């Protein structure tokens, strides 16, 4: 019996040892994360948190506001080099550019969801960015730091929020406005969209706060560094110009208020900012040399925002995808002025397009720094300096053919491609530059009707002098092609200047929509003239052609007989994009945009 | 280019033979010693020194025949004679059968073994002395009626089971060319559903019991000797039995992890007796099952692509020179026609058959298992060593997968009341593959790449002009990058990983009092996974010859690096449980079990990546000169539970059992952390009732069972802290300053503070019967499984900006049935056979889900983590359009409902969709149930009627097994993603059916629309009725033929048993699915490692 007692005692001890009801055993907290309660103490905490906003914003597929070059495969679309494919500057003919082709031809399909690169890229998405901003704004107050230091980070977050909502309004009009962290019981989730007017008032509040809170210089010596007050002003000028002109031409109120804000923001940078137009005094190289720069844009006085790429951390393949732009259109090529400051329709020095090289003669030097002149192929090492002649038309041997005959070389950098592996490029992204501020200023002033020659000289004429073009005066002759646009000849020229200067930087599609010039997208994308001389010169080309009814000559017609032939632009529909079906299904109250039902 | 497979095989076989030979040799020595020792026992033919005399020996045997005539009666335990019982001498053709009175008479050589056998009884072997009369009593076999089944924390007689339990024994896993246990169990137990992802031995098949589990997924709990272990890492040959606990009654003692069933694996253990050594070696050759039928003429290829490209964007894919060049080569494939130079670029007009050039026809595998067992009264042991070595299909720098397993078990009876148990399990795996540089750099992509890419820089008399050969000579043989895989496979880095999974167990069994048995064990496990990816720089050539300085580049390999990853996981398990069997009056039997279980786990992950190797020859983090980066993560979790079982049996007729567990997990907040999961089950052995007395002649056993129980599901995958909102920490690739990553902290996600278990309510009714003296053995189960309070993330409007918190808010119901039936019989002429059918079916439906606007689940199917569901949804449903047909004329297009919402530019040759809602337009509506546009549910991908049919035949020394497995019906929407291989011109290759089955004006009845490059524009391949596939199939999973070497022969050389066998896996299949799809590997959405036909030759000896 004693033996049994002994055995049971062992057993009991064992059971208690194992089963001692120690609740701590089941309390397991994360080992590699921090909690919301213990964070948010120092300025450094705030900065580290805001770094996440930059981290999200380098995703050019989901948050295409600070558009650089998305890494890897998606960089074939999600890069500012390609966005003009939505409009009449570029004629991409690669299958992968289907979304550009659909939009360009007015044959967009209402997507089920907005996701990835092929389902409404540039569309209704990026809400995690808004949430991250709102979470930050709800917590910055917890830190016991001086108000002006805190406001730097508040300003940074609000700059991102205003900028993002501008993008949503730009694409969809009324927007689901959210300025706090939502939970599943938040009424905003199932609310109807906030009217554009209200949303834009909030956007302006955000941008104004950013301007007041952000420092002119963070003083940390970082490069590219964080966004500063000048950037906030530049964004403000862009957003306000967009909104002002949109309201003016789409019949919405208070256009002039916005235009005045745009002009004032730009003027502040022009008056007090550290930026200037990059120039070495070489009109035939300066315009595109810094667009093609590799590695580091530090020290360039024109660069306001740029993104660094470095092998092993962040790479891109945009140079490998450079030829996916297809080619520049005849339409944009014909928009470059002649060296006498007159459009080709008025100038006597225009040589016509019967011979390819003649197109470049007596033209704005920016043309030859944007479109490849055959004689420059060696200089640009275009492509691979293989000694073959240019232009190369689709179907011709040798690869890297152009859909139009006009090869784009504005951002081309052979050194980031030749001999380099897929997605190992380090081509930097020039996200925002001072030239845009000048263009915003001139346009806002002109739209307000209060522009002076001094304004022009401080803005557009700076850009012109870099390329040794004659100055723009207050009453230039009207280009007959634009006589029916319903705007003054000065505004025609300011818009032309914008198109030329900012070609290939992703502005054209948004500009046409805010000017309510959708009719320009009804014109087919053409290429070089297809006369018998060119047919003989470019053997093996596989292209389609059409006759231009205006001059009776035959041109390459890029999309003829394809799904994108005969472009459509429905004035009642195509200025805004469709809300994806899934978003409508989840919240019918947001409603579809007109014409997309 | 190809290393010789032949040599490779020879080498493997040779090394294997060496091993076998060594053992044979040594055993031969043993045998000699033994024989000399046993000489005085006067056994037959003792003086045979070596194998060479073998044949002579057999002859001697025959010469010495007819020494003795033995007669006798064979009876059962009750003394009744057994007619038709077999009396035979193994390994000879000597044999007879008993007559109606159980009598036999047989004349055999003196000293042989006589085997007495009859169906339903255990065989007996008698070594013949000089008896002339031999009466034998056979004992009824326990295999069906007294069979003991492993259940949770114990065992139970099969006849007394009240829950739903399926069993597989070791025979199903032995002597088969299977890389893991999953492959061996597929189709064996009804409703144990095992789905291989692909044919890759390094990838584990998914296990499922009884179909749809939860919208959050879920999987059965797999326990090996009561500790959780990755079943795919264990050696199939170490397994004694596998029990599948299917319903709540059977699984309740495992509580919160057993919601979707439990798989209990029991390993072999030692038996008292002499040392028994068993060696099994097998060699296999595997051939990939490729259903492709590519065209292999470059001219045909170029023309087909040109046609499709022209249709798509109005421009041919290849220029006239290419058309002409390929025509020239295909008419006259001489070397001069293979290459050309156009504008300074090399042109290849030939054709590559990648399948034959990159892939070997057969991949070898070898597998060796050695086990030793034995013991005495006070101790026993079982030790095994297993090794599997499997090669991939690459002709150069092949893939390789190895597995090593050690199992060591020992039991020591220290005192009458204390037994100690020791166990060590080592599962080690090693995989070595070429580094995966890009999406195309893989064996499995070879199907997709254009076959007219040049592979290697050619050796031409001259290149751009006469006399320039010297300039280009250095490049000859260098690979081009265009094929995307050749140079990377050939010269690139490797991805290797090693998994070492070690379990150490100390157990004790106490029997302090009669009827009481206390068992406890502590198991500690650590898993170390070490992974190294080396992406070394490769030189690849360009076809552009104009600038010789620029010919060499690095292709995808420019960013060379070493990436080292290390996982260290620790886990411990404590089990303590006690059984007590009450001493009760006759007719009553009551037993109880009570137990405790505690588990704890911690994972740590470290990763370092350094760029720029100094040289590809040295693959170490230190041997780099570029950017250095490190990453890490860790987590831990714990579980604790207590459980009991009470089992009462009255008069062997009425059975009742209750099981329950009280379980706690660290994954839930303390208020809702614990759950109680009870179950009850009952059985009625009808055949033991008095009124059934008359059926005894044909009905052995009839039982009905019923069970009800609740189980919890805590399965949240790797989400260990679902209720704690935490802020992420990371390193952004956004560089603020210099080439440095930027640290960031991200906002916490949304969590629900009230998370708790999903509850799984399971109901089961079953019927077991055995008839005709064990010839028929069957069980049928019908079940219903309600998964309640499923953790669900409702899909909220996207402006929520994050994943919705999970809440316990959705229900689903799975219903189904399963049947297992075996027929076995032994015919008089030594022929015995059995057939087992395992048949099962299930369907599932969502019974509660918060989807107020009736949004249609996004994507094609609704399976998956955060997917949307709706009430009444049948799981697996496929939404799509109804196809009218193919537009034949432009008029038809003009007169048909407008399809512009699906694409532009509709022409003859495109698909016409049906206007289901009659609004004159084909649209997806607004993607709600109320307005699905012209879509409807066109099918369901739930597998219906899964079956396995196992046939065994044995005749004398031969055994034959044929095992078929399949699914009767399953709808499948072929993936239309880029670079997949079903829809024509979706990838870079061209198959014959692309041409014959695409619409043309002279081929109007074609299956597919007019040739069109569909990588981007999917207008013709929207989910629709026309291309929906039936993925049902039947596949011959195993065919094996074995031969037991004659006993005398084997015994004479000291073996107890020797067996040679041939086994074939996946030798044949039938499926209505269109080729090239394989019905088993279509679910991963991409082309992966193919399934394979495996031919195996094996030898098994025991001595």
The phi and psi torsions of B908 (rounded to 5 degrees) equal -55, 140
Give the span between the Cα atoms of A584 and A112, in whole angstroms: 9
In the predicted model, is pLDDT for residue A29 greater than 60? yes
Which chain A residue is nearest to residue B636, measuring alpha carbons?
Answer: A28
What confidence tier does B58 reach under pLDDT thresholds 50, 70, 90?
very low
Cis before A556? omega within 30 = no
Facing residue for B638 by CB, picked from A25, A52, A313: A25
What confidence tier does B64 reach under pLDDT thresholds 50, 70, 90?
very low
In the predicted model, is pLDDT for residue B568 greater than 50? yes
Which chain A residue is nearest to residue B562, measuring alpha carbons?
Answer: A312
Predicted pLDDT of residue B979 = 72
% chain B with pLDDT above 70: 89
The phi and psi torsions of B561 (rounded to 5 degrees) equal -160, 165
Looking at this predicted complex, what is its ipTM?
Answer: 0.91
* Least reliable range by pLDDT among A212-226, A395-409, B84-98, B221-235: B84-98
The phi and psi torsions of A138 (rounded to 5 degrees) equal -80, -10
Predicted pLDDT of residue B66 = 52
Contact assignment for B799 to A586 by CB distance below 8 Å:
no
In the predicted model, is pLDDT for residue A117 greater than 50? yes
Residue numbers of B between 317 and 346 with CB closer than 8 Å to A: 319-321, 342-345
- The answer, as to whether pTM is greater than 0.80, is no
Tens digits of residue pLDDT in B24-54: 333 333 333 333 333 333 333 333 334 333 3
In the predicted model, is pLDDT for residue A354 greater than 90? yes
List of E strands, B392-452: 400-413, 418-434
Residue predicted with more confidence, A232 or B926: A232
* Least reliable range by pLDDT among B160-174, B373-387, B829-843: B160-174
What mean pLDDT is predicted for residues B674-701?
88
What confidence tier does B443 reach under pLDDT thresholds 50, 70, 90?
low
Give the span between the Cα atoms of B452 and B339, in whole angstroms: 11
Tens digits of residue pLDDT in B250-267: 888 888 788 888 999 998
Residue numbers of B between 103 and 162 with CB closer than 8 Å to A: none
What mean pLDDT is predicted for residues A220-229?
92
What mean pLDDT is predicted for residues B369-385?
90
Give the span between the Cα atoms of B1023 and B1044, in whole angstroms: 54
What mean pLDDT is predicted for residues B827-841?
85
Residues of B in contact with A397 (CB under 8 A): 319, 321, 342-343, 345
DSSP strand pairing (B239-245 vs B227-228): unpaired
* Least reliable range by pLDDT among A6-15, A161-170, B891-900: A6-15
Q: Measuring CA to CA, how many Å separate B849 from each of B528, B810, B927?
A: 41, 5, 17
What confidence tier does A385 reach under pLDDT thresholds 50, 70, 90?
low
Q: Distance of alpha carbon A310 from its chain centroid, rounded?
A: 21
Burial, B905: exposed, middle or buried (Cβ in 10 Å; 0-12, 13-18, 19+)?
middle
B3 min Cα distance to partner chain A (Å): 29
Q: DSSP state, B469?
A: H
Cβ of B514 under 8 Å from any chain A Cβ? no
Predicted pLDDT of residue B143 = 53
Look at residues A578, A571, A574 and name the one whose alpha carbon lies nearest to residue A592.
Answer: A578
Are B677 and B653 contacting, i.e. CB atoms less than 8 angstroms apart? no
What mean pLDDT is predicted for residues B738-744?
89
What mean pLDDT is predicted for residues B552-578?
89
What mean pLDDT is predicted for residues B599-621?
90
Contact assignment for B315 to A14 by CB distance below 8 Å:
no
Cβ of B903 under 8 Å from any chain A Cβ? yes
Encoding tokens for residue B1033? 């199939």
Tens digits of residue pLDDT in A231-266: 999 999 999 999 999 999 999 999 999 999 999 999
Its sign, for the CA torsion B1046, B1052, B1056, B1059, is negative
What mean pLDDT is predicted for residues A48-74?
94
Its sign, for the CA torsion A118, A121, A125, A130, is positive
The phi and psi torsions of A222 (rounded to 5 degrees) equal -75, 150
In the predicted model, is pLDDT for residue B686 greater than 50? yes
Cβ of B1085 under 8 Å from any chain A Cβ? no
Predicted pLDDT of residue B312 = 83
Q: Measuring CA to CA, how many Å separate B957 from each of A361, B532, B954?
A: 96, 49, 7
Predicted pLDDT of residue B5 = 40
Residue that the structure tokens 């050389």 belong to: B1053
Give the span between the Cα atoms of A440 and A268, in whole angstroms: 12
Predicted pLDDT of residue B53 = 39
Residues of A in contact with B557 (CB under 8 A): 421
Residues of B in contact with A32 (CB under 8 A): 632-635, 729
Residue predicted with more confidence, A199 or B927: A199
Predicted pLDDT of residue B49 = 38
Give the span between the Cα atoms of B852 and B410, in whole angstroms: 60
Residue numbers of B between 153 and 212 with CB closer than 8 Å to A: none
Predicted pLDDT of residue A106 = 92
What confidence tier does A427 reach under pLDDT thresholds 50, 70, 90?
very high
Predicted pLDDT of residue A118 = 85
List of E strands, A256-336: 303-307
Is residue B796 within a helix (H) or strand (E), and if so which, with residue range? none
Predicted pLDDT of residue B955 = 85
Encoding tokens for residue A257? 């208020």
In the predicted model, is pLDDT for residue B782 greater than 90? yes
Are A472 and A300 contacting, i.e. CB atoms less than 8 angstroms apart? no
What mean pLDDT is predicted for residues B881-886?
96
Contact assignment for B512 to A542 by CB distance below 8 Å:
no
Predicted pLDDT of residue B859 = 47
Give the span between the Cα atoms of A204 and A167, in whole angstroms: 13
Q: DSSP state, B831?
A: E
Q: DSSP state, A109?
A: -
Residues of B in contact with A134 (CB under 8 A): 801
In the predicted model, is pLDDT for residue A101 greater than 80? yes
* Least reliable range by pLDDT among B46-55, B141-150, B210-219, B1007-1016: B46-55
In the predicted model, is pLDDT for residue B735 greater than 60? yes
* Least reliable range by pLDDT among A503-512, B59-68, B464-473, B964-973: B59-68
In the predicted model, is pLDDT for residue A15 greater than 80? no
Predicted pLDDT of residue B860 = 38
Q: Give the list of residues 6+ apart from residue B305 with CB closer than 8 angstroms, or none.
A: B316, B317, B318, B985, B990
In the predicted model, is pLDDT for residue B327 greater than 50? yes
**In three state form, how does the secondary structure of B804-824 look?**
CCCEEEEEEEEEEEEEEEEEE
Contact assignment for A34 to B727 by CB distance below 8 Å:
yes
* Least reliable range by pLDDT among A161-170, A447-456, B318-327, B358-367: B358-367
Predicted pLDDT of residue B543 = 86
Q: Distance of alpha carbon A291 from its chain centroid, rounded?
A: 15
Give the span between the Cα atoms of B165 and B768, in whole angstroms: 11
Encoding tokens for residue A521? 């997208």
Query: In 10 A of CB A539, how many CB atoms?
Result: 11
What confidence tier does B579 reach under pLDDT thresholds 50, 70, 90?
very high
Its sign, for the CA torsion B968, B974, B980, B981, is positive
The residues with which B600 forms a beta bridge, in sequence order, are: B572, B638
Cβ of B853 under 8 Å from any chain A Cβ? yes
**Selection from A157-171, A583-597, B76-90, B440-454 with the highest mean pLDDT:** A157-171
**A164, A582, A596: best to mutate for the B interface, most B CBs within 10 A:** A582
In the predicted model, is pLDDT for residue A224 greater than 60? yes
Give the span between the Cα atoms of B999 and B1022, in whole angstroms: 17
**A26, A136, A386: best to mutate for the B interface, most B CBs within 10 A:** A26
What confidence tier does B430 reach under pLDDT thresholds 50, 70, 90?
very high
Give the span between the Cα atoms of A548 and A171, in whole angstroms: 32
User: Could you write out the DSSP letters of every residue in B255-309?
Assistant: GGG-TT-EEEEEE----SEEEEEEEEEEEEEEEE-----B---HHHHHHHHHHHH
For chain B, how many residues are written?
1103
**Selection from A102-111, A231-240, B276-285 with the highest mean pLDDT:** A231-240
Predicted pLDDT of residue B439 = 56
Tens digits of residue pLDDT in A474-498: 999 999 999 999 999 999 999 999 9
In the predicted model, is pLDDT for residue A547 greater than 70? yes
């Amino acid at each position: 019996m004693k033996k049994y007692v002994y055995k049971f005692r062992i057993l009991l001890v064992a059971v208690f040892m194992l089963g001692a009801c120690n609740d701590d055993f089941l309390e397991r907290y994360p080992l590699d994360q921090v909690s919301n309660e213990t964070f948010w103490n120092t300025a450094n905490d705030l900065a580290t948190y805001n770094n996440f906003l930059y981290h999200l914003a380098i995703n050019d597929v989901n948050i295409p506001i600070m558009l650089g070059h998305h890494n890897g495969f998606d960089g074939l679309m999600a890069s500012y080099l390609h966005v003009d494919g939505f409009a009449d500057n570029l004629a991409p003919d690669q299958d992968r550019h289907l979304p550009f082709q659909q939009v360009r031809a007015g044959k967009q399909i209402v997507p089920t969801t907005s996701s990835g690169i092929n389902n409404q890229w540039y569309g209704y998405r990026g809400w995690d960015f808004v949430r991250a901003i709102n979470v930050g704004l709800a917590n910055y107050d917890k830190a016991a730091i001086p108000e002006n230091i805190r406001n730097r980070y508040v300003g940074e977050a609000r700059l991102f929020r205003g900028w993002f909502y501008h993008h949503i309004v730009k694409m969809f009009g009324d927007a689901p406005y959210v300025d706090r962290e939502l939970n599943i019981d938040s009424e905003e989730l199932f609310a109807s969209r906030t009217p554009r007017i209200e949303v834009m008032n909030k956007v302006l509040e955000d941008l104004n706060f950013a301007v007041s809170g952000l420092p002119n210089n963070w003083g940390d010596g970082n490069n590219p560094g964080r966004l500063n007050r000048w950037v906030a002003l530049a964004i403000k000028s862009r957003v306000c110009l967009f909104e002002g002109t949109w309201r003016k031409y789409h019949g919405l109120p208070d256009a002039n208020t916005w235009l005045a804000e745009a002009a004032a923001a730009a003027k502040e940078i022009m008056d007090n900012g550290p930026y200037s137009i990059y120039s070495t005094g070489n009109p035939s190289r300066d315009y595109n040399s810094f667009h093609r720069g590799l590695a580091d844009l530090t020290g360039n006085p024109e660069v306001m925002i740029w993104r660094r790429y470095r092998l092993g951390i962040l790479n891109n393949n945009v140079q490998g995808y450079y030829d996916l732009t297809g080619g520049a259109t005849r339409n944009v090529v014909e928009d470059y002025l002649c060296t006498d400051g007159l459009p080709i329709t008025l100038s006597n020095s225009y040589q016509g397009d019967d011979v390819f090289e003649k197109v470049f003669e007596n033209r704005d030097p920016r043309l030859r720094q944007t479109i490849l002149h055959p004689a420059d192929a060696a200089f640009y090492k275009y492509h691979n300096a293989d000694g073959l002649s240019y232009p190369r038309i689709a179907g011709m041997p040798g690869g890297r053919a152009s859909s139009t005959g006009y090869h784009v070389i504005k951002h081309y950098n052979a050194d980031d491609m030749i001999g380099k592996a897929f997605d190992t490029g380090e081509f930097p992204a020039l996200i925002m530059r001072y030239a845009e501020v000048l263009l915003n200023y001139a346009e806002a002033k002109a739209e307000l009707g209060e522009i002076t020659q001094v304004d022009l000289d401080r803005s557009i004429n700076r850009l012109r002098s870099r390329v040794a073009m004659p100055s723009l005066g207050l009453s230039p002759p009207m280009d007959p092609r634009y006589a029916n646009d319903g705007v003054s000849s000065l505004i025609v020229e300011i818009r032309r200047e914008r198109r030329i200067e900012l070609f290939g930087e992703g502005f054209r599609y948004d500009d046409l929509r805010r000017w309510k010039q959708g009719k320009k997208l009804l014109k087919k994308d053409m290429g070089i003239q297809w006369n018998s001389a060119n047919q003989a010169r470019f053997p093996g080309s596989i292209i389609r052609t059409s006759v231009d009814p205006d001059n009776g000559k035959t041109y390459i017609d890029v999309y003829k007989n394809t799904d994108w032939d005969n472009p459509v632009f429905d004035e009642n529909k195509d200025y805004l994009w469709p809300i994806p079906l899934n978003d409508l299904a989840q919240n019918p109250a947001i409603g579809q945009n007109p014409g997309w039902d | 280019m190809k290393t010789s497979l032949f040599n490779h095989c020879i080498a493997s076989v040779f090394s294997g033979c060496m091993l076998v030979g060594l053992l044979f040799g040594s055993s031969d020595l043993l045998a000699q010693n033994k024989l000399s020792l046993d000489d005085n026992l006067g056994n037959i033919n003792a003086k045979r020194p070596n194998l060479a005399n073998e044949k002579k020996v057999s002859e001697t045997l025959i010469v010495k025949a007819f020494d003795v005539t033995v007669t006798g009666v064979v009876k059962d335990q009750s003394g009744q004679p057994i007619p038709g019982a077999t009396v035979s001498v193994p390994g000879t053709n000597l044999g007879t059968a008993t007559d109606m009175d159980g009598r036999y008479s047989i004349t055999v050589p003196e000293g042989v073994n006589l085997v007495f056998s009859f169906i339903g009884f255990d065989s007996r072997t008698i070594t013949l002395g000089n008896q002339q009369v031999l009466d034998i009593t056979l004992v009824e076999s326990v295999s069906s009626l007294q069979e003991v089944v492993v259940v949770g924390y114990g065992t139970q007689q099969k006849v007394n089971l009240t829950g739903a339990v399926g069993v597989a024994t070791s025979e199903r896993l032995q002597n088969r060319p299977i890389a893991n246990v999953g492959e061996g169990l597929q189709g064996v137990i009804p409703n144990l559903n095992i789905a291989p992802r692909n044919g890759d031995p390094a990838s584990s098949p998914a296990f499922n019991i009884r179909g749809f589990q939860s919208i959050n997924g879920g999987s059965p709990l797999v326990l090996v000797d009561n500790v959780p272990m990755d079943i795919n890492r264990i050696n199939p040959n170490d397994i004694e039995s596998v029990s599948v606990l299917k319903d709540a009654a059977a699984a309740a003692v495992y509580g919160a992890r057993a919601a979707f069933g439990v798989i209990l694996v029991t390993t072999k253990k030692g038996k008292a007796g002499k040392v028994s050594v068993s060696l099994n070696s097998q060699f296999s050759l595997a051939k990939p099952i490729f259903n492709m039928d590519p065209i292999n003429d470059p001219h045909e290829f170029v023309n087909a692509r040109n046609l499709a490209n022209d249709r798509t964007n109005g421009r041919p894919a290849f220029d006239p020179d290419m058309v002409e060049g390929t025509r020239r080569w295909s008419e006259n494939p001489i070397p001069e026609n293979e290459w050309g130079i156009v504008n300074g670029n090399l042109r290849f007009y030939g054709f590559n058959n990648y399948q034959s050039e990159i892939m070997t026809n057969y991949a070898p595998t070898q597998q060796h298992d050695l086990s030793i067992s034995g013991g005495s009264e006070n101790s026993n042991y079982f030790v095994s060593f297993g090794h599997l070595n499997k090669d991939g299909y690459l002709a150069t720098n092949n893939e390789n997968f190895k597995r090593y397993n050690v199992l060591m078990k020992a039991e020591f009876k220290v005192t009458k009341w204390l037994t100690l148990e020791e166990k060590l399990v080592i599962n080690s795996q090693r995989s070595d593959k070429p580094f995966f540089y890009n999406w195309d750099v893989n064996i499995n992509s070879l199907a997709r790449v254009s076959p007219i890419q040049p592979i290697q820089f050619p050796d031409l008399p001259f290149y751009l002009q006469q006399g320039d050969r010297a300039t280009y000579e250095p490049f000859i043989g260098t690979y081009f990058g265009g094929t995307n895989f050749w140079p990377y496979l050939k010269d690139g880095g490797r991805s290797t990983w090693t998994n070492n999974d070690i379990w150490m167990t100390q157990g004790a069994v106490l029997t302090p009092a009669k009827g009481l048995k206390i068992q406890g064990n502590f198991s500690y496990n650590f898993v170390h996974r070490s992974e190294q990816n080396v992406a070394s720089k490769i030189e690849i050539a360009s076809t552009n010859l104009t600038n010789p300085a620029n010919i060499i580049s690095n292709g995808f390999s420019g960013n060379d690096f070493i990436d080292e990853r290390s996982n260290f996981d620790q886990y411990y398990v404590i089990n303590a449980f006690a059984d007590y069997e009450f001493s009760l009056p006759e007719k009553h039997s009551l037993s109880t079990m009570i137990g405790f279980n505690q588990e704890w786990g911690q994972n740590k992950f470290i990763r370092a990546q350094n760029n720029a190797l100094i040289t590809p020859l040295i693959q170490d983090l230190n041997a780099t000169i570029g950017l250095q980066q490190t990453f890490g993560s860790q987590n831990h979790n714990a579980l604790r539970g207590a459980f009991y079982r009470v089992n009462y049996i009255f008069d062997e007729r009425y059975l009742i059992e209750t099981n329950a567990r009280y379980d706690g997990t660290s994954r839930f907040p303390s208020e809702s952390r614990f759950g109680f999961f009870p179950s009850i089950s009952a059985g009625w052995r009808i055949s033991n009732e008095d009124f059934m007395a008359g059926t005894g002649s044909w009905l052995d056993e009839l039982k009905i069972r019923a069970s009800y129980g609740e189980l919890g599901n805590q399965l949240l995958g790797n989400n260990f802290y679902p209720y704690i909102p935490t802020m992420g920490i990371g390193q952004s690739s956004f560089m603020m300053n210099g080439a440095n990553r930027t640290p960031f902290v991200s906002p916490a996600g949304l969590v629900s503070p009230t998370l708790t278990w999903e509850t799984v309510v399971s109901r089961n009714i079953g019927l077991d019967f055995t008839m005709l003296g064990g010839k028929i053995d069957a069980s049928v189960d019908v079940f219903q499984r309600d998964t309640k309070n499923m953790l669900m993330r409702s899909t909220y409007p996207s402006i929520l900006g994050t994943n919705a918190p999970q809440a316990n808010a959705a229900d689903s119901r799975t219903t189904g049935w399963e049947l297992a039936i075996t027929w076995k019989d032994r015919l008089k002429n030594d022929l015995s056979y059995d057939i087992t059918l395992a048949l099962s079916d299930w369907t599932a439906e969502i019974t509660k889900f918060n989807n107020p606007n009736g949004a249609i689940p996004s994507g094609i199917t609704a399976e998956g983590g955060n997917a949307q569901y709706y009430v009444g949804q049948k799981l697996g449903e496929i939404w799509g359009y109804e196809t009218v047909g193919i537009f034949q004329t432009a008029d038809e297009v003009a007169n048909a409902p407008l399809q512009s919402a699906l694409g532009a530019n509709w022409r003859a040759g495109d698909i016409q969709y049906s206007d289901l809602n009659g609004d004159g337009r084909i649209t997806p509506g607004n993607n709600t149930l109320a307005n699905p546009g012209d879509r409807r549910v066109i099918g369901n991908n739930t597998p219906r009627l899964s079956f396995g049919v196992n046939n065994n035949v044995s005749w004398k020394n031969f055994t034959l097994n044929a095992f078929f497995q399949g699914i009767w019906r399953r709808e499948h929407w072929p993936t239309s993603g880029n670079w997949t291989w079903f829809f024509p011109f979706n990838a870079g290759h061209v198959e014959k059916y692309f041409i014959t089955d695409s619409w043309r004006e002279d081929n109007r009845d074609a299956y597919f629309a007019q040739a069109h490059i569909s990588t981007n524009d999917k207008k013709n391949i929207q989910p629709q009725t026309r291309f929906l596939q039936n993925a049902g199939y039947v596949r011959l999973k195993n065919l094996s033929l074995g031969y037991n070497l004659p006993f005398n022969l084997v015994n004479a050389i000291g073996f107890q048993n020797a067996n040679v066998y041939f086994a074939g896996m996946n030798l044949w299949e039938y499926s209505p699915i269109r080729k090239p799809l394989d019905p088993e590997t279509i679910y991963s959405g991409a082309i992966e490692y193919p399934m394979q036909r495996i031919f195996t030759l094996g030898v098994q000896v025991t001595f």
